[in-house]
Amino acid sequence: MAPSPADAAAAPSKPRRDLILRIVSALVLAPLVLLATWHGFPFFDLLLAIGVVLAWREWRLLVGGWRRPGLLLAGAAYIAIVALSLLSLRHQPETGLQAVLWLLATVWATDIFAYVAGRTLGGAKLAPRLSPKKTWSGALGGLAAAIIVGACTAWFVTGGSVIGIAMAGGLLSVVSQVGDLAESAVKRHVGVKDSGRLIPGHGGLLDRIDALMAAAVAMAAIRWAGDARWPW
């Protein structure tokens, strides 16, 4: 039997349900990540180790085990590089906490405002073959949010160059969005929508952290290169 108009009106739409699930998941996971980051060793390291195990499991299932050995090994190497990048950032003497908190704030601001701007403004698709829902308005909204986070960080926290740190935030925003699209390309290649079902409203862990992974590697790489203009 078809639902009555009243039942249909009462039931939340799928986009609304997805948004509610995303918010609830964020409210559960974000404090856990922030607390572990704040306290550092061993909590940060333990959470990261759990994340590595779960990410590797998802990746192995995503690419079909040894049916795609090239993708399997590439994913393993990438996950390892991400883990080393985050460890090196968090365990910097004196500035490790600030570095990772700024990284999280930049990536989360990009993700949240890209979602809001894309849903609100719509418009031309960013990469329709890879991710049909992403728009240029969303990408630019996320970029603007990351730049603002960088500027606010410089103004209120570090006392550094507002322009320099804002530009660094913009760079990480672009990298994080490229990381998101890269995972979408892999999922499209193997013919799946989500990397898993671990996080309600988000899919798998890799769906939630793909942007953070790319941004962490970029931030660590610039630090390893010894760029003195980098905020931390």
Q: How confident is the model at residue 231 (pLDDT cuts 50, 70, 90)?
A: low
Predicted confidence (pLDDT) at residue 5 exceeds the cutoff of 60: no
Q: How confident is the model at residue 91 (pLDDT cuts 50, 70, 90)?
A: very high
Predicted confidence (pLDDT) at residue 93 exceeds the cutoff of 80: yes
pLDDT of 67 reads 84
Q: How confident is the model at residue 6 (pLDDT cuts 50, 70, 90)?
A: very low
Taking only the tens place, the pLDDT of each residue in 94-137 is 889 988 999 999 999 999 999 999 989 989 999 998 888 899 99
pLDDT of 11 reads 47
Contacts of the segment 127-136: beta carbons below 8 A, 24+ positions apart: 127/181, 127/184, 129/188, 130/181, 130/184, 130/185, 130/188, 131/180, 131/181, 131/184, 134/180, 134/181, 134/184
Dump strand ranges (E) for the chain. Answer: 125-127, 131-135
- Residue of 68, 82, 4, 25 whose CA lies nearest to 203: 25
pLDDT of 159 reads 67
Taking only the tens place, the pLDDT of each residue in 158-211 is 666 788 888 989 999 999 999 999 999 999 998 888 888 887 766 899 999 999
pLDDT of 2 reads 47
Predicted confidence (pLDDT) at residue 15 exceeds the cutoff of 80: no
| Residue ranges per structural domain of the chain | 13-224
Predicted confidence (pLDDT) at residue 232 exceeds the cutoff of 90: no
Q: How confident is the model at residue 75 (pLDDT cuts 50, 70, 90)?
A: very high
Predicted confidence (pLDDT) at residue 89 exceeds the cutoff of 50: yes
pTM above 0.85, yes or no: yes
Residue 59 near residue 66 (C-beta atoms within 8 A): no
3-state DSSP assignment of residue 31: helix
